[in-house]
Amino acid sequence: MCGIVGYVGQRQASPLVLEGLKRLEYRGYDSAGLASVDDVRLSVEKAAGKIAVLEARLNGRLPRGSVAVAHTRWATHGVPSDANAHPHTDCGGTIALVHNGIIENAGPLRQALERRGHKFRSDTDTEVLAHLIEQHYSASLELAVAAALQQVEGTYGIAVLSTKEPALLVAARKGSPLLIGIGEGEHFVASDAAALLQHTRSVVYLDDGEIAVLSPDGYRVTDLHTEPVEKVISVVDWDLATVERGGYEHFMLKEIMEQPESVRTTLRGRLLEDAGGARLGGLNLSDDELLAVDRVVLTACGTSWHAALIGEYMLEELARIPVEVEYASEFRYRNPILDHRTLVVAISQSGETADTLAAVREAKQRGARALGIVNVVGSTIAREVDGGVYIHAGPEIGVASTKAFSCQVAALSLLTLRLGRLRALSVLQGRDIVRALARLPDQIAETLARAPDVERVAQAFAHVHNALYLGRGYNFPVALEGALKLKEISYIHAEGYPAAEMKHGPIALIDDNMPVVFVAPHDAVYQKILSNVQEVKARRGRVVAVVTEGDREIAELSDHIVTIPQTIDLLTPVLSVIPLQLLAYYIAVQRGCDVDKPRNLAKSVTVE
């Protein structure tokens, strides 16, 4: 989720692209940079850290020139550093490029380019593109970019400039948003309209497979074979704040709606259908080392701890390895029994949660191997563990975690495949899981399409004071997560419980004022939870049920239902959590709560 801004026109370019970058700061990033061409001289300035660090580096001396590109980086390949920051340049220092996306075949391309004498200065996939364009360049930057992109697998939104053609910018898009801003005697390119609004509201949205060539007096769009493409000019009529949220009212809703793409990105390049397994290059553990593990401890806080519970069920059921789940805040002080055969896995969206970081340090202190399942590349936990899995969910701005949870569960299913196929999981079982994972992003989209059903349910419950969330098996942690979502953004007291535990006390709470949310997809424990629904209805409880489409028994008993597609049991949480995220969101909105910044909460709890 990097930010891109480019300019070509009559004005000095650097101040314009730098100002545009600041409009993209909300997206989250870990480094920034810009490049400009003045006559035939290429200037590049970039730095790890916030834009303020880049500005300090520039110290008021902005590079001159009427063409420039700028970038804020959300690291995916290569930790945040000056060298890994964009723009990236070619060997000859004549081409500079900024990129948003992931080049999946960057490895083989880089080796081929190195064999042809190209010298690389970073660990990024993006730099490969700069050298590839240089390799293809003869007299036209546009043709060189088109030829290079025909060799690329993966996703990109790029903006490229060259000292050899200083009056033009080339942009291209495949899978990462990019749009052109149309001005008077000047043109812009950006990953997000927020960067352009102070200059123009006339924009052209590029589509996948398109290339744009911008000059001060005009622009044209072609496909990768330079065939012209007709484009419609749109007018952005949103205010800046709305644009920053992608048109959604809140970041939380934007991030809920991003889950098909974020889970797709978590899985990208990691599913091995034939082998029925998963490719997790970042574990830094050999098969033998993984086989030597005799116990796994999953440690986390909050929503990430709920994901850990699902991981426990997956790993024990399918990898047949003993697993414990520990609140990091408890684990770090309770003198746990660990040794070199214990694998401690820390789950953290931010990678900065103090208790989880302390748990990692305690685990390593006692000789255990430590892995991280983390979203923020280069975060403290990601740097201190021995290896791990980045979930690539993109920046999560809303304090209430949503897309990170679904991506954490997806990453845990990949870890289960990796460990399971070394142990008890057959290739056929593995293939079934891989195929179900491949279908998941589309099924998430189907579930999100039912948001209006959830909004109607929310209207019936916006004024309750308490709620009970019940689930079994893989969906017991989802009940906990649904209750946490409601608590933290609507301030309604909600408890999550294993459904069978209700008769050991909480059933005393049931009356016609107590909404009970059942997470009850068609899985191995369906008949069991059906009887729990009957118990609640017998006490006049009001039942909201998340059920599998086509369900009849629980649906007929319930006051409200929201349906999800059928999938395998271990993946039901990724679908069943969505109605609960939306339910909390719509209730909070109706109660006038600050959805993105709930009272008393921080996005990352970096203190004990």
Binding site for ligand AGP (CB under 6 A): 301-304, 348-350, 353, 356, 399-401, 488, 604-605
Nearest in space to 47 (alpha carbons), one of 58, 37, 38: 58
**Element of type H or E holding 20:** helix 13-22
Of the pair 555, 605, the CB lying nearest ligand AGP is at 605
CB of 400 to ligand AGP, least distance (A): 4
Minimal distance in Å, beta carbon 489 to ligand AGP? 8
Task: Give catalytic residues, as residue numbers.
Answer: 2, 603
d(CA 530, CA 535): 9
Measured in degrees and rounded to the nearest 5, phi and psi for residue 119 equal: -110, 125
* DSSP 8-state class, residue 503: G
Question: CA 292, 295, 300, 304: dihedral to nearest 10 degrees?
Answer: 90
Residue 315 CB, nearest approach to ligand AGP (Å):
19
Q: What minimum distance in Å lies between the beta carbon of 304 and ligand AGP?
A: 4
Residue type present at position 131: H
| Residue of closest CB approach to ligand AGP | 302
Nearer to ligand AGP, 303 or 558 (CB): 303
Least distance to ligand AGP from the beta carbon of 402, Å? 8
The token pair that represents 594 in the structure block: 């600050």
Cβ contacts of residue 317 below 8 Å, gap of 6+?
Answer: 570
* Residue (of 91, 118, 93) closest to 106 by Cα position: 118
User: What Å distances lie between residue 586 and 459, 460, 574, 595, CA to CA?
Assistant: 8, 11, 19, 9
Residues in the chain: 608
Q: Which residue has the tokens 């790029």?
A: 158
Nearer to ligand AGP, 140 or 353 (CB): 353
- With respect to ligand AGP, which residue has the nearer C-beta, 70 or 301? 301
Please give the Cα distance from 416 to 265 (Å, whole number). 18
Whichever of 133 and 593 has its CB closer to ligand AGP, that residue is 593
Q: Give whichever of 524 and 602 is closer to ligand AGP, judged by the CB atom.
A: 602
Please state the closest distance from residue 401 (CB atom) to ligand AGP, in A.
4
Minimum distance between the CB of residue 582 and ligand AGP, rounded to whole angstroms? 14
Query: Given the complex with ligand AGP, which of 67 and 400 has the nearer CB atom?
Result: 400
Separation of alpha carbons 498 and 95, rounded Å: 59
- State the first-to-last Cα distance of the chain, in angstroms, to the nearest integer: 30
Q: What is the 3-state secondary structure (H, E, C) of 385-401?
A: CCEEEECCCCCCCCCCC
Is residue 99 a contact partner of residue 152, using CB atoms and an 8 Å limit?
Answer: no
Q: Is 402 helix (H, G, I), strand (E, B) or coil?
A: coil
- Nearest CA to 377 out of 364, 389, 362 is that of 389
DSSP character string of 244-293: HTTT-SSHHHHHHHTHHHHHHHHHTTTEETTTTEE--GGG---HHHHHH-
Return the number of the residue (29 or 137) whose C-beta is nearest ligand AGP. Answer: 29
Nearest in space to 359 (alpha carbons), one of 326, 332, 321: 332
* Segment (H or E) for 213: strand 210-215
Q: Which is nearer to ligand AGP, 4 or 589 (CB)?
A: 589
What string of DSSP letters covers 223-257? ETT--B-----EE--S-HHHHHTTT-SSHHHHHHH
> Which residues partner with 34 through β-bridges?
45, 70
For ligand AGP, give the closer residue by CB, 205 or 491.
491
Q: Are 504 and 494 in contact (CB under 8 A)?
A: no
